Structure 1
């Protein structure tokens, strides 16, 4: 899900590199015998926000939300709460790109920087 205010560069990047986001909050609450209301009372987050996270209808996550939930559930590794998986083709591409890195950039990343700078200056 993409927030309506997301800029075109971010949208194109998300589309170019297929991925799956798995938020495990619903399972965690169920496994612990907790309700969304319990988490609301522990975090102060709106029940609607928690429900949107559980049902993956939330278009964006804030660090404040994630940390509040992690503290309330005593989770210290974010991977217990959320996973992001890239398609196999993307992983292979990333591995090949890492072999070409110099000073943190690959030729493709340098080209992307140049293109994005032009696009941002035109906006």
Structure 2
């Protein structure tokens, strides 16, 4: 199991993402992304090399995904890994862990949004701020 702080991922992605995307994602900087592929490989008694052969991916790509070294991987790669390891739920490969207070806030906001069909105030502010930042960036 490989745990990665979102803040660490964001610090390494600045040159690849626009500032608005990174700034929005930074609201989750205390969260963790947990990669579980290495545990699945051990459980099944196969190596990264075996997974590479089973999926058709380069061993270097598999290694980066398993060890969380690459900053991204695509949906097709995840699907190929799901097939190769015979998992039926993406959460068996990767998990996103929010701090408890953030999870509670998100759950409450989500429930409110569903019930009222109105965006929570905090998100309205984020929407407005990001729209303004995106507009300013286009003018640069």
Q: Distance in 2 between matches of 1:87 and 1:121?
A: 32
Q: Note the C-alpha offset of 1:76.
A: 1.2
Per-residue CA distance 1:90-113 (angstroms, 9 max, x = gap): 112213323542425211112211
**Residue aligning to 2:4:** none
**Residue aligning to 1:52:** 64
**Residue aligning to 1:112:** 126
Query: What are the ranges of 5 or more consecutive residues in structure 1 without an aligned counterpart?
Result: none
**Residue aligning to 2:35:** 23
Per-residue CA distance 1:39-71 (angstroms, 9 max, x = gap): 111111111111112211121121111111111
Q: Note the C-alpha offset of 1:23.
A: 0.6
Pick from 84, 89, 113 the counterpart of residue 96 of structure 2: 84
**Cα RMSD between the aligned structures?**
1.6
Q: What TM-score results when the alignment is normalised by the length of structure 1?
A: 0.89
Q: What secondary structure, in the 3-state scheme, does the structure 2 residue paired with 1:45 have?
A: coil
Runs of 4+ deviating beyond 4 Å: none
Pair 1:65–1:120, CA change in 2 (3 A): same
Higher helix residue share: 2
Q: Distance in 1 between matches of 2:112 and 2:92?
A: 32
Q: Note the C-alpha offset of 1:5.
A: 0.7
Q: Distance in 2 between matches of 1:99 and 1:25?
A: 32
